[in-house]
Structure formats: structure tokens, C-alpha cells
Amino acid sequence: MNGKKKKFISMLLASVLSVSFFLTGCGEKNSSDTAATKTDTTTTKTEPASTEPEKRGHITVSVYERGNIASSEGSAIENRWTKWINENGPVDVTFVAIPRQDPGQKFGVLFASGTAPDLCLEYDPTLKQQYYDQGLMLPIGDLIDEYSTTYKDWMKKNPALEKVGLMDDGKMYQFGRITENAPLVGLYIRKDWLDKLNLKIPTTTEELINVAIAFTGKDLNGTGTADSIGFAEVLGGESSRMIFGFNTPASKIAGFPYTVQNGELVYDTKPLTEWAKFRKAIYDANACDKEFLMDKNGAKARQDITSGKVGIICAGENVTLSDLGTLKTNVPTAELIPIELPTSPVGKFNAIIANTVQAVAFVNSQCEDPESVIKYMDFMALESTKKTLKFGIEGTHHKMVDGYPQIIDIDKYKEEVSYAGDLYMACSTEVFNNPHGPYDLSDPIQKEQSALWDATRRTYFNTKIAYPAVTYSEHIPALPKELASNYNSIMQQLTDIWNKAIVSGSAYTTEQAEKDMNDLWNQTGGKDINSFYGEWYKNDKKDSILSDDLYKLLDKEIADRKLSW
């Protein structure tokens, strides 16, 4: 890790780069553009400074192409907001489209041809580790010290921005952003069902299982059909595994099987085993959809939830808030509340809080005008820039209500503004949202959504309860190439092992699943992976973003915004 470890470099790409980097720079600019951005240091005191305006620099900047822009708005690289940036920003910008589905392929082609953007915006830490290993990233610490104003001041107020930008040699290579804290996934329950059955809110996983069973197969909505489902989990992201102190995507159930014990990072499959027992108990009791593993995108679960069939819901907050309106339309008496995660056999944990500090951008090492990149990032750090790109034009797309922007016409906003999120992914945007959510309280449904928004934060903005992991997944260091290859090759097998344990009854136990995972792990280089992560935690945790850092940011937001939770 820090400093001296050897890197595993892609030989094919490196061989192409060794030629292409001598032939061309990173952007499509000429020498006069570059020269125009440099400060003239030859003027003496006896010579009057030039009164001509400084010529603007020109840079290229990547932007994700998602296919989510209306034809009337243009394209990912030419639309009202790219035009606004060029008209209001300090440098001329040519945007380069990067397919969101597979950014690595397009970036690879651009780097190999010497035409990669000057400023590359990318979330994936594994991809960026590869670019760092290949020498494609430019250190930016000194550039920020010399040229920056706004971003540098923002870093002073938020020290985590520097930490998140560090790479293995201890230098800063990435720009970061601070975003608003939000519960990523929550555990919700139908309070009206609890009241109808005279049940209490479950406080342990055993009680949660019993409530799920009690909810199942009844006519709790009064429709005349006994079709209630005790528990549903919207797959596709981190979910019920947080109850047991870890969080991984559904496609990587065993993604990071480590816990901290006596100050060391230890390979530990007990949380996985206890989670599988929990899901198995619900499955065996018919208290969930028996075909839930087929519901890859969560569409079936959401249909059951919004039709009012489900009593306990584990889902992303954004999903739950969005679906609440449909649920209330279908079942006006439904009362949905968030609950603290119940205590499990491995401890009590908080819900996952969305990652609030992210490394999102780096400078191409072949960039000819890094000063202009810093100017662009300073512009992106301005409050006026962040507010405009997030909420649109005041009076057209939003109005100020009680000091916070409120969308005027949601359909107009969705068409003309919502797609700009990829343009402002380099902005820190935590300071503008109404703490009670982006809702019009004069609308009955939106008022209930706002109430659920508040309740979810009141429940999960609690840093006294343990964070459900060592850190958020984006802050886990990428494995070296050979270890990563072994890890990725077995991930689907590991996921299948645990899913099999859940749905196979007594024919395949969770204890057997744990043994099979350990055997497969050890046979495919797992001990080397354990050593790698153990050394990272031992040697580099002080320079890494860990759960304590995420909680400090949460406490800071609560204090700064005077939140009542």
C-alpha cells in the first residue's frame, strides 16, 4: 500500500501508451491555448501591466452518457447546462461522453490513443487504481496550493476531501466531493398491521422473524383476500445484511468478509452465517416471496409493496419514499415507519448511510494546462454553480421557500434539469437541500413523504449505534491485479453458495455453506487477500476513510444544519 508496494500493470495498454504519449497530449488544444493560460512573469515594475483580458484556457472534461436526456435537450455533451458552464465558467470546456454502463472500456481506448480528457470524472475505485498504477493520474496537491482558491478553502473546512484523494504514494491525486448524508437502505414496517395484531416493534432478529411470520397469509388490509407477505427485500444493492454488520451488493454477498477484532482486520464469516440463518428462517416459514432470487431488479418486490401486501420492507430510502405515494393511493390506511435495526447474534448496527465523501475526478497525467483544470474545479466549487446545476434557474425551475430551493414543476425539472447530475458530480452539494426533503407540504401525499423522510433520519442519524461495516464499499482499496482476478473468479460461486443455503431447507445448511465458502476461499488465494487487507488496515487506516470518518461527517452535518435529530 502506502509508498513502496509494486504495482500490477496492464502490459498491453502500457505498450500503446509508451508510443502515444510522445505523439499527443490529453486534450484537443493548441499551443496558443496553453500559453494563454500561463501567468506573465516578465513584466517589471516600470512596465504597465497589460490591460487586455486574459485569454481563456481550454480543457476537455468527461461526462457520463446514460441515455437519459430528452431529444429536445440535446445530448450528454451538448445541452443547456454544458452551454451554461461555458458561458459562465472561467475556461472553455469540450465535454467527452463516457458510457455509464462500461466506462472502463471507453477510457481505455481514449488513454491508449492519447485523447483521454484532461479531467476524468469517475466513481469506480478499482478503475482508478488501475489508472494510478499505469501512471495516468497527475498529482494535484501542489497545483491546488498554487492555483486554487474556492476548492482549497472547501478542503480546509472538510479535511476528509484531502484524505479521500490520496493514493498509494501518499500524494493527492483525486478531487473529492461532500454530499448530503442520507440513509441508503432502511428497515420499514407497517405500523397499522402491528397495531391490528397488537404486536410490538421487533428489537431482535428473532422477534423480527416472528413478526414476519405473524404478518403472513392474512387479510390485514381488509380486502377480503388473505394474501399478506411478512417480509420483502428489494435486491440490487446493500440490504438486510446490514442488520448483521456488513453491507455488500446482492451480486457479491461475500464481498468483504472482514470485521475488526482487537484492533485488527480479521477474516470472519460468522456475520454471513447468521444473516443466512435469518433469511432461511423467513423463507422456510413462507413469510417472503418464494421466488425472490429471481427478482433481480426488485420489480416484483416493489409491486407487492405498493399493492399493500408486505409488512416488513428492507429497501433503499429512495425506493421507499418513491413507492409511498403509490402505496397510499392503493391502501390509504397504510402507515409505514422506519425502525432501528434489531439486535442480531453478532451485535446491533445502524442502517447504511450513503457515502458522503467521494473521490470523483482526476487529472490526466498528460494534461497540458492543469491550471485551467484547477480554475474549472474552483468554478464547480462555487455555491452559485452547485445550486444552479442541481436545482436549475431560480424562477424557472425552482423557487426559494423558507431559505431552500423548491421545485416549481416536477415534470419540467425532470426533463430540463435532472440529467445535469453527471455534470455536477464534481461538486460538493450537501448544503442546499431542505432537511425535510424536496416536498411540497401542501400536497397530502408529499406531506407524508416528507414525514417519512424526517422519521428515517431521526431513526438512522444515530452515530452511537455501530456503523454496519469497516467502511463504505467505495473506500475499500482495490486488490492488485492477480488477487483481483482470483477474487472476481469465485464471487459468483460464493454468492450461489449462500443463496443455496437460504432456499434448500435441511438439504443444505448454513454451516455447510460456511465450510464450503472457507474451502473455496482458501483454495483460490483467499489467504493472500486476507493478508493484503490486513496490512492495509494495519498500515494505512490513518490515511483511509473509515466508518469513524463517515460518522464525523454525519455529526458535522447535524450540528451545522441544527438538525433536531
Highest mean pLDDT among 46-50, 159-163, 234-238: 159-163
Within 13 Å of residue 197, how many CA atoms lie on the same side as its CB? 20
pLDDT digits (tens, 9 = 90+) for 213-247: 999 999 999 999 999 999 999 976 568 999 999 98
Q: Between 8 and 394, where is the model more confident?
A: 394
Report pTM: 0.83
Q: According to the model, what pLDDT value does residue 37 have? A: 34
Letter for the amino acid at 329?
T
Q: Is the pLDDT of residue 36 over 70?
A: no
DSSP notation for 292-358: GGG-TTSHHHHHHHHTT-EEEEEEEHHHHHHHHHHHHHH-TT--EEE-PPPBBTTB-BPPPBPP-EE
1-31+55-181+355-432 folds as: D-Maltodextrin-Binding Protein; domain 2 (3.40.190)
Say which residue the cell 454468492 belongs to.
495
Grid cell for residue 180: 448530503
User: Quick one: 141 exposed, middle or buried, by C-beta within 10 A (0-12, 13-18, 19+)?
Assistant: middle
pLDDT band at 78 (very low <50, low <70, confident <90, very high): very high
Return the SS3 of 134.
coil
pLDDT digits (tens, 9 = 90+) for 259-290: 999 999 999 999 999 999 999 999 999 999 99
Closest-CA residue to 146 (of 368, 364, 370, 426): 370
Q: Is the pLDDT of residue 28 over 70?
A: no
Q: Is the pLDDT of residue 2 over 80?
A: no
Mean pLDDT computed over every residue of the chain? 88
- How far are the Cα atoms of 95, 272, 334, 339, 470 from residue 453, in angstroms, in the given order? 36, 30, 16, 13, 26
- Give the relative orientation of helices 526-540 and 481-503 as an angle to the nearest 10 degrees: 110
Mean pLDDT of 147-172: 94
Q: Is the pLDDT of residue 39 over 60?
A: no
| Integer Cα distance of 229 and 214 in angstroms | 9
User: Where in the chain are the domains?
Assistant: 1-31+55-181+355-432, 185-352+465-555
Mean pLDDT of 526-544: 95
What string of H, E and C letters represents the secondary structure of 449-484?
Answer: HHHHHHHHHHHHCCCCCECCCCCCHHHCCCCCHHHH
pLDDT band at 481 (very low <50, low <70, confident <90, very high): confident
Mean pLDDT of 458-480: 93
Say which residue the cell 413462507 belongs to.
286
Highest mean pLDDT among 276-290, 410-424, 540-554: 276-290
Grid cell for residue 110: 481514449
| Integer Cα distance of 81 and 345 in angstroms | 51
| Integer Cα distance of 68 and 419 in angstroms | 7
| Integer Cα distance of 401 and 41 in angstroms | 48
- Give me the residues paired with residue 94 across strands: 60
Say which residue the cell 428489537 belongs to.
203
Q: Between 16 and 152, where is the model more confident?
A: 152
185-352+465-555: same fold as 1-31+55-181+355-432? yes
| Least confident range of 58-67, 316-325, 421-430 | 421-430
Domain 185-352+465-555 grouped into CATH 3.40.50.300: no
